[in-house]
Structure 1
Amino acid sequence: MEDIIFAGSESRKKVNLAEVTLVLDNEDGHMSSEFAEISMTRRLFRTGESEYYLNGTACRRKDLLDLLIDSGLGKEAYSMIGQGEVEKILSSKPEERRVMFEDAAGVLKYKSRKQQSEKKLTETKDNLQRVEDILSELEQQIEPLERQASTAKEYVEKREEYEKLDISLLSFDIDDKHGQWTSKKNKLQTLQATLETKGAQLEKKAFKNKTM
């Protein structure tokens, strides 16, 4: 295909693409388009890539092919039979003739669309099967995850129970120590008062002995 791209000459530089445009009259609305005139353009680049345009708007190759089928200018274009084509038709196999007549009668476009719909339906079924497989796999994973979640929940509950008991024991220990400290403090105060009393009595006796 690159051969159709101008390679340049002594007076002109080479170009990187070739472009062709086909203009069709659709005044009678035969083709499924709102335009009275339809232009189809293909640009071929040296890289092998192609761009397609419908009335100047970028489109897919498939969009152009669908319109060409509507116009009777499909891949085989048997709606217009040239010289030598009659002999080809007569000598062709029954299956080949059936395709020619379907194309000429405009039936081929509907068969083509039916095939496309069947292909999409098959792809959709395959996608649904993949989704079902994924769901089945996820369902198998749910039960182990639920068990793990239950174990984790039980651990958290036991941990909270342990911490509450630990705090209670610590509080009890503090209260017990405080009670012991208060008791000993009271005893100390009692002993201190007794000592002060005894000391005062001793001082009083000593004073009496000195004065006698």
Structure 2
Amino acid sequence: MHLKSLTLKGFKSFASATTLKFEPGICAVVGPNGSGKSNVVDALAWVMGEGSAKTLRGGKMQDVIFAGAGDRKALGRAEVSLTIDNSDGALGIDYSEVSVTRRMFRDGASEYEINGAKARLMDIQELLSDSGIGREMHIIVGQGKLAEILESRPEDRRSYIEEAAGILKHRRRKEKAQRKLVGMQANLDRLEDLTEELGKQLKPLARQAEAAKRAATVQADLRDARLRIAGAKVVELRAKFEDSQQQAEMLAAQVEELSAQLEESSQRQAEVEAELAEVAPRTEAAQKLWFDLSTLSERISATQRIAAERASNAGAQVPYAG
């Protein structure tokens, strides 16, 4: 396994896309001061997951993005891709060539990819740690790192030796497993506390369950009784409805018969009124004639009385000749 290529796009001084190709053996990057040699080492550490801006010789992580120089404007993101020849299968992945990419934007968002597929930082660290490389492994010795190792305390020097021997990854896995065990033990303790607490609540809960069961039975009986009462009311109302319907039909028949009689009476009344209108003039003439005749009769009667009185008076005045 060996590094095959390193591609930098907008990383620190590499504004344009730059690809460095490596061959098996020793490769050297030479150049004057300020040409960006250290930036190549920083790019290697950064693409493998370095999260300290101080280690990358910056104040904040966004400082790895090209900030502009001369006529070149600042860029919005930095991207580094590291290609590893895995023909010997040293990395635990089924690819003969593995490409690890890290991308950062001005807003601080980061993206990781393994062979073009989205990945997590943890995935990259796990993949590289199995081969003895990574952002904190001994393979990267930056400026001042050698002096730091030589001047370090015995316990720090021991960590460097363990790191070079490949023990560090196992220790970290052990620590991770221990943290999981501690968390699991805490969960077990909590589970025991909950079990004990639930055990204390079982008897009251059993009584409550029995009461709830009885209540459910009573409620079922009550629902059944209510349904029976409702059914009886429905039958009663249906019978009343049928009776009312029959009465309504009888009343409708009576109304129809009375309507026919009323129509007949109205027709007879109209005929009588027509006859009355026809007879009325003759009745008035007869009444007038009756009044006239009555008046004439009274006059005649009066004349007769006067004549009788005169005749009577005349008979009394004639002398008797005998």
TM-score between the two structures when normalised by the length of structure 1: 0.60
| Equivalent of residue 148 in structure 1, options 208, 211, 232 | 208
CA–CA separation in structure 1 for the residues paired with 2:103 and 2:81: 9
More displaced, 21-30 or 105-114? 21-30
| Secondary structure of 2:130 counterpart | helix
Residue correspondences, number: 163
Give yes or no for the alignment of 1:56 onto 2:101: no
Give yes or no for the alignment of 1:96 onto 2:175: no
Whichever residue aligns with residue 204 of structure 2, its letter is P
Q: 1:27 to 1:151 in 2, by over 3 A?
A: closer
> Would the aligned equivalents of 1:23 and 1:37 in 2 still touch at CA under 8 Å?
yes
Q: 1:15 to 1:131 in 2, by over 3 A?
A: farther
| Secondary structure of 1:71 counterpart | coil
More displaced, 51-60 or 8-17? 8-17
Q: Which has the higher contact order (CA 8 A, sep 6+)?
A: 2
Aligned to 1:198: none
How do residues 51-90 of structure 1 correspond to structure 2 at under 5 angstroms?
Answer: 51-79=111-139, 81=141, 85-90=145-150
CA–CA separation in structure 2 for the residues paired with 1:91 and 1:12: 42
Q: CA RMSD in A?
A: 3.5
Aligned to 2:199: 139
Once the two structures are TM-superposed, the CA of residue 9 in structure 1 deviates from its matched residue by: 9.1
Whichever residue aligns with residue 195 of structure 2, its letter is L
CA–CA separation in structure 2 for the residues paired with 1:82 and 1:5: 20
CA–CA separation in structure 2 for the residues paired with 1:94 and 1:33: 37
| Equivalent of residue 3 in structure 1, options 63, 66, 81 | 63
Aligned to 2:265: none
Larger helix proportion, structure 1 or 2?
1
| Secondary structure of 2:161 counterpart | helix
Aligned to 1:24: 84
Describe the superposition over 1:66-108 as per-residue Cα deviations: whole angstroms up to 9, x where unpaired.
2332333333332455786544333211111111111111121
Q: 1:118 to 1:156 in 2, by over 3 A?
A: closer
CA–CA separation in structure 2 for the residues paired with 1:64 and 1:118: 22
| Equivalent of residue 115 in structure 1, options 175, 185, 206 | 175
Q: 1:10 to 1:80 in 2, by over 3 A?
A: closer
More displaced, 69-78 or 17-26? 69-78
Gap runs ≥5 in structure 2: 1-60, 226-322
Once the two structures are TM-superposed, the CA of residue 24 in structure 1 deviates from its matched residue by: 1.9
Describe the superposition over 1:134-160 as per-residue Cα deviations: whole angstroms up to 9, x where unpaired.
333333332212112333455677896
CA–CA separation in structure 1 for the residues paired with 2:143 and 2:69: 38
> Would the aligned equivalents of 1:43 and 1:51 in 2 still touch at CA under 8 Å?
yes
> Would the aligned equivalents of 1:79 and 1:103 in 2 still touch at CA under 8 Å?
no
Q: 1:76 to 1:157 in 2, by over 3 A?
A: closer
| Secondary structure of 1:53 counterpart | strand
Once the two structures are TM-superposed, the CA of residue 112 in structure 1 deviates from its matched residue by: 1.6
TM-score between the two structures when normalised by the length of structure 2: 0.42
**Percent of aligned positions that are identical:** 45
Structure (1 or 2) with the larger CA radius of gyration = 2
Q: 1:13 to 1:154 in 2, by over 3 A?
A: same
Once the two structures are TM-superposed, the CA of residue 115 in structure 1 deviates from its matched residue by: 1.5
CA–CA separation in structure 1 for the residues paired with 2:70 and 2:149: 48
More displaced, 62-71 or 147-156? 147-156
CA–CA separation in structure 2 for the residues paired with 1:135 and 1:68: 43
Describe the superposition over 1:170-212 as per-residue Cα deviations: whole angstroms up to 9, x where unpaired.
xxxxxxxxxxxxxxxxxxxxxxxxxxxxxxxxxxxxxxxxxxx
> Would the aligned equivalents of 1:39 and 1:54 in 2 still touch at CA under 8 Å?
yes
